[in-house]
Structure 1
């Protein structure tokens, strides 16, 4: 079983959901939770919340140092509680 992590889906790559291809034109942040031999399975970080989307491994890349810095300086709010994001140099989530 793989450890969940953040990656970038390269722009123009397919993102296969049971409703069809929901890929995006620009590079986009994804969170992957599992994998098969050829695909990562997860979801886009922003958007409509489609789960269990399949991304070809060859269409994904690690986060750049600049993308990691941006994530580590961001936060989100749920139900009045503010959460700060933290990832390590390989895109693995870190506890605050």
Structure 2
């Protein structure tokens, strides 16, 4: 597993996603974590409705709760599965 930093605090109420920067040998890459509740409060409004739209970006991971332990576990699972680099964007 590559070293990483959690770039944002877990302050309640969470009003933005939590970004994580990963130190890949080829250079830093990042991805974001968000909860369903957060996605309900942010995003573009679908015309003619109150619904929010989020296009399924590979670098956005949705989890039911956010903590350092959850982020670490998800990152390690993605790494073991060979998916970590594909799920991140270059800085």
Return the TM-score normalized by structure 2.
0.32
Which entry has the higher C-alpha Rg, 1 or 2?
Answer: 2
- Structure number with the higher strand fraction is 1
Return the TM-score normalized by structure 1.
0.31
- Structure number with the higher helix fraction is 2
